[in-house]
Amino acid sequence: MHLARFPRIRVGHLPTPLEPLERLSRELNGPEIWIKRDDCTGLSTGGNKTRKLEFLMAEALAQGADLVMTQGATQSNHARQTAAFAAKLGMDCHILLEDRTGSNDPNYNHNGNVFLDHLHGATTEKRGSGLDMNAEMELLADKFRSSGRKVYTIPGGGSNPTGALGYANCALELVSQANDLGLTIDHIVHATGSAGTQAGLIVGLKAISANIPLLGIGVRAPKQKQEENVYILAVATAEKLGCPGVVQREDIVANTDYVGDGYGIPTPAGIEAIEMFARLEGLLLDPVYSGKGAAGLIDLVRKGHFKKGERVVFVHTGGSAALFGYTNTFGYDRRPASVAAE
Ligand SMILES: *Cc1c(COP(=O)(O)O)cnc(C)c1O
């Protein structure tokens, strides 16, 4: 596998830092927990979509696109990073936003990522939940094409073999950082949704025979479906990279016990994880992805699945901008102000 063969626009602040979480590790009294700071990729508050977009937007540019389209949930971090990337390249950006939660909270519908989409100059339109959103987008793209636009469409989450290259690259980056530090990694954990992050990571890890188990914590689909989605994309990504067959079905492991009531609906464990990371480590997670991912990590440490003496790397996939769409969930304005202990 040789990533330099693929067109790429280097916008991300890479490599992202790999840091120990000392206070969180002490609090949980289990494995040594480290964090791969993909929340720090640099583009419009950062996040994991930037790595994928480096390859996707290079393809858009090579095809002479003047309009980039994508789709996602209302508080999509992918939409926000696409809008920012398009702005940087001087392309127009149009986004279809799916109302997956039915929330009528003004912050959810207009603040956070939605605010940033518009700040970056993207146009948005809404769809109800349950549609085939990629099909909706292609229909609309054809309309733009018939009026003369050169449209490049990016599937939800940037999750196709081109986008997943960004995470094959992240696997190389992470293992090489660990090698430089003399750090052995026993497990890698991250939030998994549209599957590109997990698919890319597993292809990268397997292609270099790192022998590090990867665990995706699901945020939407049931386990079987999530693992199938990741596997199909991983197989296609490995083929694109010229290393077909490196990924086996059993390499793909997702734990979907932390989804709660559904995609984009906060869970008590996710909120606890967000507060723990914020108060023990000064780090920002989000209620849709990284908070649920961290809730899985924390619970699996408490249950002894990850043990003392092991080292676990949590890939922080970003999402902090979504916090401002969910401030009501925390209810701080409804709780009495606390007084410092005397
Ligand atoms: C999109 C996203 C994920 C999930 O990544 P996929 O590649 O879609 O599986 C995780 N965390 C955050 C913050 C995201 O925005």
Q: pLDDT truncated to tens, each residue of the chain (342 aa)?
A: 999 999 999 999 999 999 999 999 999 999 999 999 999 999 999 999 999 999 999 999 999 999 999 999 999 999 999 999 999 999 999 999 999 999 999 999 999 999 999 999 999 999 999 999 999 999 999 999 999 999 999 999 999 999 999 999 999 999 999 999 999 999 999 999 999 999 999 999 999 999 999 999 999 999 999 999 999 999 999 999 999 999 999 999 999 999 999 999 999 999 999 999 999 999 999 999 999 999 999 999 999 999 999 999 999 999 999 999 999 999 998 876 666 655
Which residues does the annotation mark as catalytic? 76
pTM equals 0.97
Report the candidate in 33, 54, 251, 25 with the shortest Cα–Cα distance to residue 170: 54
User: From the CA of 36, how far away is ligand 1's center (Å)?
Assistant: 14
- 219 CA distance to ligand 1 middle (Å): 9
Question: Atom of ligand 1 at shortest distance to CA of 286?
Answer: 13
Position in ligand 1 atom list of the atom nearest CA 216? 9
* Bridge partner residues of 97 (DSSP): 72, 126
The token pair that represents 251 in the structure block? 């390499």
- The pair phi, psi for residue 2, each rounded to 5°, is -145, 95
Which residue lies with its CA nearest to atom 8 of ligand 1? 194
Structure-token match 């309009």, residue found: 67
Q: Hey, which of 16, 48, 202 would you mutate to test ligand 1's pocket, going by the most ligand atoms within 8 Å of its Cβ?
A: 48
94 HSE (CA, 13 A, CB side): 18
* Predicted local distance difference test score (pLDDT) of residue 126: 97
> How many CB atoms sit inside 10 A of residue 131's CB?
13
Is 193 near ligand 1, meaning CB less than 6 Å away?
yes
Q: Position 314: which residue type? A: F
Ligand 1 centre and the CA of 89: distance in Å?
23
Q: How many CB atoms lie within 10 A of CB 276?
A: 21
Expressed in angstroms and rounded, the spacing between residue 339 Cα and the centre of ligand 1 is: 38
Q: Is the CB of 76 under 6 A from ligand 1?
A: no
For the Cβ of 289 lying below 6 angstroms from any atom of ligand 1, the answer is: yes
Pocket test for ligand 1, best of 45, 77, 81 (most atoms within 8 A of CB): 77
Pocket test for ligand 1, best of 41, 44, 82, 194 (most atoms within 8 A of CB): 194
Predicted local confidence at residue 340, as pLDDT: 62
Beta carbon of 196 within 6 Å of any ligand 1 atom? yes
323 lines ligand 1 (CB under 6 A): no
Residue in the block written with tokens 């009026």 = 147
Q: Which atom of ligand 1 is nearest to the CA of 190?
A: 10
Burial of 19 (0-12, 13-18, 19+ CB in 10 A): middle
